[in-house]
Structure 1
Amino acid sequence: MRKFLTAVVVIPLGLIFIIFAVANRHWVTVSFDPFNSVTPTVAVTLPLFVVIIASAILGVIAGGIGTWFKQGHWRRAARQHEADARHLRAELAELRAAAS
């Protein structure tokens, strides 16, 4: 079932990427020099689909990193609760052993 659902998602997504790449294959120059737009010192010429897909990937990575940092206190609390539960289980085992 999982392989079927993966195929249902991955195959259409792959086809969309291929169609997108074929439709946007003309070259664009991305400049990283805000002061000189005519002859920039740092510029890259890439196909448009590479620029757009790379931007989307970087956005997903940045969002994931932001979410990971935002949820740090929940992970810390979960580790603390797990340690407390481990300690209480050990204490319970000792009390059961002493009672029997």
Structure 2
Amino acid sequence: MRRIVSLLILVPFALVVALLAMANRVPTRISLDPFTPDNPVWSVTGPLWIVLFVTFTVGVVVGGCAAWLVQGKHRKAERTYKREATRLEREVERAKAQEAQTGLPALAGPRGR
């Protein structure tokens, strides 16, 4: 099911990208110099579809890095919880081994029982 949904999304997207690339083959100048518009020092010339593709790729990379940085506190909390769970599992195993060895409960149960 997931593969079908992927195909229903990716095939039309690929078709649109291919059509965009074929329709925009004329070289386009992208200028990064606002002071000399006639002869810019900072400019790149290339097909518009390449400029759009590079812009999209840079946006995805910057967005991914921003999301990764924001999620850092969650990754740190997960590491802390995993360490705590491992410590508690070892403590339970040690208590079970001690109970099996001595025959006495290693951990006191709740009062009133």
Fold in common (TM above 0.5): yes
- Shorter-chain-normalised TM-score: which range? 0.7 to 0.9
In structure 1, what is the Cα distance between the partners aligned to 2:35 and 2:99?
A: 80
Higher helix content, 1 or 2: 1
Q: How does 1:57-76 map to 2 (within 5 A)?
A: 57-76=57-76
Alignment length (residue pairs)? 100
Indicate the structure (1 or 2) with the bigger Cα radius of gyration: 2
Map 1:70-85 to 2 at 5 A: 70-85=70-85
User: 1:43 aligns to what?
Assistant: 43
Secondary structure of 2:29's match?
strand
CA deviation string 1:19-71 (max 9, x = no partner) = 11112222210112222211111211111111112111111111111111111
Q: Distance in 1 between matches of 2:61 and 2:40?
A: 28
The structure with higher relative contact order (CA 8 Å, sep 6+) is: 1
Q: TM-score, normalised by structure 2?
A: 0.79
Describe the SS at the equivalent of 2:46: strand
Separation (CA, whole Å) in 1 of partners of 2:74 and 2:9: 31
**Gaps in structure 2 of 5+ consecutive residues:** 101-113
> Which runs of at least 4 in structure 1 moved beyond 6 Å after TM superposition?
none
Unaligned runs of 5+ in 1: none
The Cα of 1:2 is off from its aligned counterpart by 4.7
Letter in 2 for 1:97: A
SS in 1 for 2:36: coil
SS in 2 for 1:80: helix
* Stretch of structure 1 that moved more, 69-78 or 26-35: 26-35
SS in 2 for 1:28: strand
TM-score (norm 1): 0.88
